[in-house]
Chain A
Amino acid sequence: MLRKRLLGAVVVRQGWAVQSFGYRRWLPLGKPQCLVENLDRWGADGIVVLSTDRGDHGPDLELIERLGALGLSTPLTYGGGLSTEEHARAAVRAGAERLVLDAVLSHNPVAVGAMASAVGVQALVAALPMVQSATGEVLHLQHRTGAQSELATSIRKLIAAEQVSEVLVIDAAGEGEGQGFNPALLEAVEAQTSLPLLAFGGLARAEQIRPLLSRPQLAGVMVGNALNYCEHAIGHLKAGLTDQPLRPHRQSSSV
């Protein structure tokens, strides 16, 4: 039976791995490769590296190669600056297993189909930062511009046509605060697609993660800042979630 995943997020900004707070504030943590190698050793179900400041400069291939050279035995997903078929090819060639697409969904959704042909739909994850307005409406946040709007038709079509294999729903307001993930955001996306979903933003404790994992459509959760405050953070979270269909945590020992 397919397990749900507990993924470790590494947010990268100006070459630094950072703690991210609502896409607005950042505090440095250290070298991305140190965090990634650590998540690998801890036994995270996957490592997701998000380069937040690529703009129009394409993916950070040098970073992906550097991480690939670490000899990780955990699947590596990369997001940031991916907007063309060539970007996608290059990122996979450089060592990324899967790719997270964000800005391109809004700016050039047509490119997603080409990327899917190039690297396979199962390599693509669509990231949707979402916020809930004061009136309760769930809106899509384009974090480059700050614009909040209903999910664009082009994006809805893309998801309906299953040109990506998973949707990463991001609680943009809660991100970094460790106060939990707003389930209304998942409800809104579940209404649009039957693709498997991932949730990221505000998750710090097992009891915040548990209700999300019990949603049938949820394939996994991503934790960011909270993984940096203590040793064996992945193990502690999994120890609090043994009733959930996660891959069991094992004390790593030499092969």
Chain B
Amino acid sequence: MSSGRLTVGIVDYGVGNHTSVLRCVRQLGFRARISPQPDQLDQADVLLLPGVGAFPTAMERLHATGLVGYLQRAAQLGRPLIGICLGMQLLAESSTELGFTPGLGLIPGAVEAIGEPRWHIGWNSLEVADGQPLLHASDGEVMYFNHSYAFRGPEAFVAARSRVREGSEPLVAAIQRGSVWGLQFHPEKSQVPGLRLLEHLIRAEGER
């Protein structure tokens, strides 16, 4: 482990419980703090955007806390930003969950209902796309998913997929554009494989 400790800023926009993500990141050896304040988040080397619940509520909260502009600027500046679960979906241009809602628009694509099956719940293996050196070691690893909406977008931004059944249409499991990453699964709930992936990603992006 490198001696200079990276700081992870967990974006707090009033939705969900961030304790598990906070503890996880600290256990990985990083400094971490949860904050809604831009000046505190500015001190982070890597931003983490968690999320649970419904897309419209989350976007409403992001707007209310003034963080939409902050996150968009952070992406423009090339700051590392990792969205987890609903946090990944917020990075997209829009979602049709409970009606049409615009997202942060940081990665081209839209979030739509999975359809069949209705939910993707449980442990499933990652199929990492070509040209993804940071995720390469996690190809075939089994992660924990819990979602009913999924990202659909250009091939170029899809970093990993997961399929519910042999031969079924794969769901997008991870997206990436520049320094902005989205993980549909819960790395902080996926035990060793998830922790390894998260640690690797934070370190690689944070040290660039």
Contact = CB atoms under 8 A, between A and B. Distances in A.
B104 to A, nearest CB: 21
Nearest to B148: A122
A196 B188 CA distance: 24
Contacts of B17: 68, 92-95
> Which of A72, A219, A252 gathers the greatest number of chain B CB atoms within 10 Å?
A72
A75 B146 contact: yes
Interface in B50-100: 52-54
B186 interface: yes
> Which of B54, B144, B166 gathers the greatest number of chain A CB atoms within 10 Å?
B144
Contact of B53 (A68, A73, A120): A120
Interface stretch (B4-12, B113-121, B153-161): B113-121
A171 B79 CA distance: 52
Contact of B147 (A4, A68, A72, A122): A122
B16 interface: yes
B124 A73 contact: no
Interface residues on A, range: 35 or more
Nearest to A4: B122
21 contacts: A2-B124, A3-B123, A5-B123, A68-B19, A71-B26, A73-B188, A73-B190, A75-B146, A92-B17, A92-B53, A95-B20, A98-B146, A120-B54, A121-B119, A122-B121, A122-B146, A122-B148, A165-B119, A219-B121, A247-B142, A255-B192
A33 to B, nearest CB: 14
Contacts of B195: 73, 255
B28 A97 contact: no
Interface of B: 16-17, 19-20, 23-24, 26-28, 52-54, 118-125, 142, 144, 146-148, 163-166, 186, 188-192, 194-196, 199
B19 A247 contact: no
Contacts of B186: 75
Interface string A234-245: 000000000000
Contact of B164 (A2, A72, A73): A2
Majority SS of interface residues in chain A?
loop
Contacts of B190: 73
Given A2-B120, A2-B123, A255-B195, 16 more contacts: A2-B122, A3-B122, A40-B191, A43-B192, A45-B123, A70-B23, A71-B24, A73-B191, A93-B16, A120-B148, A123-B146, A219-B121, A247-B142, A252-B191, A253-B192, A255-B196
A59 B142 CA distance: 31
A220 interface: yes
Interface in A84-137: 92-95, 97-98, 119-123
Contacts of A55: none
A1 B192 contact: no
Interface in A215-238: 219-220
Interface string A72-83: 111100000000
B84 to A, nearest CB: 13
Pick the 7 closest A-B CB pairs, nearest first.
A71-B23, A122-B119, A3-B123, A247-B123, A247-B142, A75-B189, A255-B195
A248 interface: yes
